[in-house]
Amino acid sequence: MNKVVVGFDFSSGSAYAVDLAIDIANRWQNDIRLVYVKEKKEDEAPIRAEIERRNAGVAHLLKGIKLEYVLRQGNPSEELAKQAEEDEASLLIVGTHGMGGLKKGILGRNTYRTVELSPVPVLLIREDFNFNKALETIVVPLDSSDDTRQKAAQAATFAKSFGSTIHLLGLYTSSAPSVRQVVKNYVGMVQRYLSKNNIEFVTEYIDVKGNVTTDTIEYANKVNADMIAIMTEQESSLSSLIMGTFAQQMLSQSTIPVLTVRPRKVLADTANY
């Protein structure tokens, strides 16, 4: 059975991550692995006792899955990525005020490094997000870069599990007809993929006037989105338009949970695009 790995450090952000992990893992029938990265001289006994107490408190929410934990020692980002690889995890979830996360809108070094190192998709959530509603709306921004479509398969996995609607957001970052046509082509490919998999979607195109990240977040807020799916590297082609990469800015600015997907050379799940 695959696992959903969760970074945990007793912060409110990581506690929210556990709550969301239980919901996701129940739907996917994945076991959950909590990962606490301790300092070298930190006493393990009280850590284990508190984690076990908390796990017992949510045991009734588990539907045919297991909630386990492991203590690791070292750099939090590296250890989370290693655990995700060892478990062949389907997803890594990190709360942004946990594991050295967001402070005053600036992404903590550990959190961003975790996204960089993780071999599996990472779902980054902030503790100030409203978790009292279901995951109904997923925004998938699509640009003219080669890898942009790859996030669609992961977004579709969530949409199938939660009955979500995917909002395809075509981003026109150039007035050049050839570039705009590429965006249309990629959006069309994803539309066909979603239709084939019976996933509800809507499509909108916007001309990016200033900042790609700002425009994407503005749209996501307008549609009351519950998740934004992005690539971790493909947006670097837009560096001439924004400071830093799209992924960096999205992770640091979005109050909406962000699903990050690492580009692959071969995309088997969407080979029929």
Is 119 in the same domain as 143?
no
Tokens representing 221?
A: 């807020």
Is 243 in the same domain as 120?
no
pLDDT at residue 108 in the model: 57
Q: Is the pLDDT of residue 253 over 90?
A: no
Task: Provide the mean pLDDT of the chain.
Answer: 86
Number of folded domains that form the chain:
2
Q: How confident is the model at residue 102 (pLDDT cuts 50, 70, 90)?
A: very low
Closest CA to 94 of 3, 2, 8: 8
CATH number of the domain at 110, please: 3.40.50.620
Residue 132 belongs to some domain of the structure: no
Residue 181 belongs to some domain of the structure: yes
Is 160 in the same domain as 71?
no
Is 36 in the same domain as 152?
no
Is 117 in the same domain as 7?
yes
Residue 180 belongs to some domain of the structure: yes
**Which residues span the domain enclosing 121?**
3-125
Tokens representing 198?
A: 């019976």
pLDDT at residue 130 in the model: 64
Is 233 in the same domain as 181?
yes
Using alpha carbons only, give the angle 35, 227, 170 rounded to the nearest 5 degrees: 135
Residue 16 belongs to some domain of the structure: yes
Provide CB contacts within 8 A for 266, sequence distance 6+.
none
Closest CA to 155 of 123, 126, 186, 109: 123
Residue-wise pLDDT for 105-145, tens only, equals 334 567 778 888 899 999 998 877 766 678 999 999 999 98
Residue 21 belongs to some domain of the structure: yes
Domain boundary among 125, 146, 168: 125
Domain boundary among 125, 146, 181: 125
Is 163 in the same domain as 92?
no
pLDDT at residue 101 in the model: 46
Higher pLDDT, 257 or 245: 257
Higher pLDDT, 159 or 255: 159
Q: φ and ψ at 41, to 5 degrees?
A: -95, 5
Residue 78 belongs to some domain of the structure: yes
Tell me the Ramachandran region of residue 10: left when phi exceeds 0, alpha when psi lies from -120 to 50, beta otherwise.
left
pLDDT at residue 1 in the model: 66
Residue 207 belongs to some domain of the structure: yes
Residue-wise pLDDT for 51-92, tens only, equals 999 999 999 999 999 999 999 999 999 999 999 999 999 999
Is 43 in the same domain as 83?
yes
Residue 82 belongs to some domain of the structure: yes
Pairing of strands 122-125, 201-207: unpaired
Per-residue pLDDT, averaged over 185-202, amounts to: 97
Q: How confident is the model at residue 263 (pLDDT cuts 50, 70, 90)?
A: confident
| DSSP SS3 for 240 | coil
Per-residue pLDDT, averaged over 27-40, amounts to: 95
